[in-house]
Structure 1
Amino acid sequence: MYVCNCNGVTRAEVDEAITAGALAPEQVLAHHGCEPCCGQCLPEIAEGITCGGMGKARSLVAAE
């Protein structure tokens, strides 16, 4: 599932960046050569960082 639609970053890619040491949403996106665009993904990425990965974070998406 995509977390960042603007850059096409998936949950798995967010987890990869967190595992590699990303400590902020901007670092997660930069890990994949991206930067924030509209910013709607930043809160969900931040929650994933806080929880230790997207698999542990609750989704902010209404319907998956």
Structure 2
Amino acid sequence: MNEDRKLADATLVCTCNDLYICDIVEAIDTGEVDYREILALHGLQPRCGECRPHVEALVSEH
């Protein structure tokens, strides 16, 4: 995870995969609620995993 990039853009959730809040919300809107499935919907795979808590928090909020 690149903390500097994440701090520079509050909408960036995963710096390893360039995954943004809007990407996660899009996946949630299609019915995905699992971390890995949300990434897979965008053709991505987990890397360092530091974004997982943020992704799961967004799922809980929606």
Identical-residue share of aligned pairs (%): 33
Aligned residues between the structures: 52
Provide TM-score, normalisation by structure 2.
Answer: 0.79
Q: CA RMSD in A?
A: 0.7
- Equivalent residue for 1:62? none
Rounded Cα–Cα distance in structure 1 between residues aligned with 2:61 and 2:21: 13
* Residues 30-55 of structure 1: per-residue CA shift (max 9 Å, x gap): 11000110000001101111110xxx
Provide TM-score, normalisation by structure 1.
Answer: 0.77
Alignment gaps of 5+ in structure 1? 53-64
* Residues 12-32 of structure 1: per-residue CA shift (max 9 Å, x gap): 001000001111111111110
Rounded Cα–Cα distance in structure 2 between residues aligned with 1:41 and 1:21: 20
Larger fraction in helix: 2
Q: 2:23 aligns with which of 3, 6, 13?
A: 13
Alignment gaps of 5+ in structure 2? 1-10
